[in-house]
Amino acid sequence: MITLRDVILRRGAKVLLDKVSVTLNPGEKVGLVGRNGAGKSSLFGLFNGTLHEDGGDFSIPTQWEMAQVAQEMPETHEAATDFVLAGDTRLMGVRQRLADADAAHEADPDDMDAGMAIAHAYADLHDAGEHDAVPRAQALILGLGFRSDELNNPVNSFSGGWRMRLQLARALMCPSHLLLLDEPTNHLDLDALVWLESWLQRYAGTMIVISHDREFLDAVTNVTLHIENQRLTRYGGNYSTFENMRLLQLEQQQSAFSKQQEKMAHLQKFIDRFKAKASKAKQAQSRVKALERMERIGPVLAEADFTFEFKEPQNLPNPMLAISDASFGYGPDKVILRSVSRSVLAGQRIGILGANGQGKSTLVKTIAHEIGAIAGTITEGKGLNIGYFAQQELDVLRPPDNPLEHMTRLAREVGPPGREQELRNFLGTFNFSGDMVRQAVGTMSGGEKARLVLAMMVWQRPNLLLLDEPTNHLDLATREALAVALNEFEGTLMLVSHDRALLRSVCDEFWLVGRGEIKPFDGDLDDYQQYLLDESKRLREEARNQTDAAAPAPVVAATASDAQQRQDATMRLRPLRKDLEKTEARMAQLEADKADFEARLAQPMGPAEMADLGRRLKAIGGELQPLEERWLELTGQIEAIDATA
């Protein structure tokens, strides 16, 4: 159980939580929500011990194993699988113990304790899931969208977003009582997101997740914690339930507020009327006290509404862009998209869809001049002014500088330097008011930084917006504001986003990036979800066919019914192959263990250890035999189906 009693939490001069009390029970799936800068990440700091309460009591079971996603970009040559595997702290602990015991045993072969320790460690290894640790790690990596030929690539060969996915996989790999996830969907695209939802639905421990994604929260949480105005409120239910309850509560609060106002007015009238009369002075006095004691109900402050707009573009070239017979990618050996010929017209609102790693960002980056086209031409309309927003864009901010300094620099770069008051006013429209214009960007929350980048983009008055995952870090109200602003934007929009609501509300056509091409996508987002499912099936089959490449190609041209038959066969083969793979993996593990134990038996050892090893060998034999039978049966069935197809 996690309990907060009258907890106060401060950050710099700001009080984030003021005497809050809340209890979270084991096994609860908690969504932690609130506006950008409300203090969600800071509260995580309290949970994981990096921050301390400034008042009140906070407690968390000391024996709880905690898993969380490391925030830093991993810099290591380690293979992706090993990197993720290392997240399994329990297994790593046992491996370490085994290594220590081995070393002790080596140093002194007569050391009975070392012998025992080795035997124990082996037993624990099994309990810690050593036998399927690698497939477990790889399932996480593949689920998060990596290709199977990337499983053992070094971590630092991946781009930033992908390395963060590995960090996420590593956290999920850790057997834990408490899982803390701070905006885990930020680096994911739609299909990885759907995979993560289903993974989290099976997670057994207590989970607290910060997210601004309504659909995601609804899918994975059953309790909602809301931070607002330095208060922390617990609601039983997922995000939608929370919204409904809150609405009701606000209505009730509003009517309670009006009632209280009436009552206070009444008391005041009484006091005023009787204060003058000596005989009534005592009653008046008690009414004054009553008035003072009355717990004030706040009026409902609709969450400070936030809106902004893009300035009207100075001109709208048409077409904005003409791409002709172009190839995009990262050098001649790494072409991602080829023979692209498309035009982008004034006023088009294009959603760019595509599965992981198909080249959406490559397309956007090329148009934004971040990388050059490998072949072909991109002709730009006269007066084209691109506003580009990418996740890495947050890196363009300088941590020691404040928002005002950023704006001053930008204003000087793109036009006549703005007056300070003008810049302050402009920042004000993006909710950077008062002290915040002077707060170092490095200490700001993720959403605050993203908001500043948006502000800087608007200042540049673009006519073509290239937005690559613009809603990461933004709270719902700011997303809403962005959606409204984008809807009113008169220029052209190209948007890559995993935010289903945003895509739905601002795009009216879609491009699909996949299989090395860009094509218009004929359908809506639901059709796209189906397309993703089909596509991932196709990729899996392709991968399988590659491993089966040794199989002889069919000699006779296939007829339609042949094709049908083959498809049926594939369907029937799939579960068998899977079963076979599992059986083989387990057999290999048991055989390895067996060899290992047999080798160990040849070493000098005490009677207890010898007995233990003997028992284990027997157990292995007991498990191996039925497995071998199963193996024979499966290979037989597979051969039979192969022969008919």
The residues binding Mg ion (CB under 5 A) are 41, 445-446
Range list of β-strands (E), 12-133: 14-24, 29-34, 55-59, 66-68
∠ Cα 221 223 229 (to 5°) = 115
Q: What is the DSSP string of 410-440?
A: HHHHHSSPPPHHHHHHHHHHTT--GGGGGS-
Which CB atom, from 475 or from 612, has the smaller least distance to ligand ATP?
475
12 contact choice in ligand ATP, Mg ion, none (CB below 5 to 8 Å, kind-dependent): ligand ATP
Query: Which residue reads 């602990």 in tokens?
Result: 93
448 contact choice in Mg ion, ligand ATP, none (CB below 5 to 8 Å, kind-dependent): ligand ATP
Spatial distance between the Cα atoms of 4 and 375, rounded to a whole number of angstroms: 60
Is the Cβ–Cβ distance between 507 and 493 less than 8 Å?
A: yes
What is the C-alpha radius of gyration for the chain, rounded to an integer number of angstroms? 31
Q: Residue 390 corresponds to which amino acid? A: A
To ligand ATP, the closest distance from the beta carbon of 578 in angstroms equals 41
To ligand ATP, the closest distance from the beta carbon of 302 in angstroms equals 19
266 contact choice in Mg ion, ligand ATP, none (CB below 5 to 8 Å, kind-dependent): none
To Mg ion, the closest distance from the beta carbon of 611 in angstroms equals 55
To Mg ion, the closest distance from the beta carbon of 199 in angstroms equals 22
To Mg ion, the closest distance from the beta carbon of 599 in angstroms equals 52
State the sign of the Cα–Cα–Cα–Cα dihedral 339, 343, 344, 349.
negative
- CA-nearest of 188, 134, 149, 183 to 166 is 188
- Residues in CB range of 26: below 8 A, 6 or more apart: 1, 177, 205, 206
To Mg ion, the closest distance from the beta carbon of 220 in angstroms equals 18
To ligand ATP, the closest distance from the beta carbon of 208 in angstroms equals 13
Which CB atom, from 216 or from 511, has the smaller least distance to ligand ATP?
216
To Mg ion, the closest distance from the beta carbon of 188 in angstroms equals 17
Which CB atom, from 44 or from 235, has the smaller least distance to ligand ATP?
44
Which CB atom, from 443 or from 487, has the smaller least distance to ligand ATP?
443
Phi/psi-derived region of residue 434, left when phi > 0, alpha when psi is between -120 and 50, beta in every other case: left
Which CB atom, from 431 or from 445, has the smaller least distance to Mg ion?
445
Q: 57-70 in b/e burial notation, b at 16+ Cβ within 10 A?
A: ebebeeeeebbbbe
Residue 520: is the preceding peptide bond cis (ω within 30°)?
A: no
Which CB atom, from 14 or from 231, has the smaller least distance to ligand ATP?
14
Which CB atom, from 81 or from 471, has the smaller least distance to ligand ATP?
471
406 contact choice in ligand ATP, Mg ion, none (CB below 5 to 8 Å, kind-dependent): none
Spatial distance between the Cα atoms of 21 and 7, rounded to a whole number of angstroms: 7
State the sign of the Cα–Cα–Cα–Cα dihedral 159, 163, 166, 168.
negative
Rounded to 10°, the helix 403-414/446-459 angle is 20
To ligand ATP, the closest distance from the beta carbon of 9 in angstroms equals 9
Which single residue brings its beta carbon nearest to Mg ion? 41
To ligand ATP, the closest distance from the beta carbon of 590 in angstroms equals 48
Spatial distance between the Cα atoms of 504 and 525, rounded to a whole number of angstroms: 7
Spatial distance between the Cα atoms of 272 and 437, rounded to a whole number of angstroms: 46
Which CB atom, from 82 or from 228, has the smaller least distance to Mg ion?
228
Which CB atom, from 35 or from 95, has the smaller least distance to ligand ATP?
35
Binding residues for ligand ATP, per CB under 6 A? 11-12, 14, 16, 34, 36-42, 443-448, 473, 475
Long-range Cβ pairs for the range 564-570 (8 Å, 24+)? 565/644, 565/645, 566/645, 568/645, 569/641, 569/642, 569/644, 569/645, 570/541, 570/645
Which CB atom, from 224 or from 445, has the smaller least distance to Mg ion?
445
14 contact choice in Mg ion, ligand ATP, none (CB below 5 to 8 Å, kind-dependent): ligand ATP
To ligand ATP, the closest distance from the beta carbon of 16 in angstroms equals 6
Which CB atom, from 359 or from 446, has the smaller least distance to Mg ion?
446
38 contact choice in Mg ion, ligand ATP, none (CB below 5 to 8 Å, kind-dependent): ligand ATP
Spatial distance between the Cα atoms of 568 and 572, rounded to a whole number of angstroms: 6
Long-range Cβ pairs for the range 583-586 (8 Å, 24+)? 583/627, 583/630, 583/631, 583/634, 584/631, 585/131, 585/132, 585/135, 586/131, 586/627
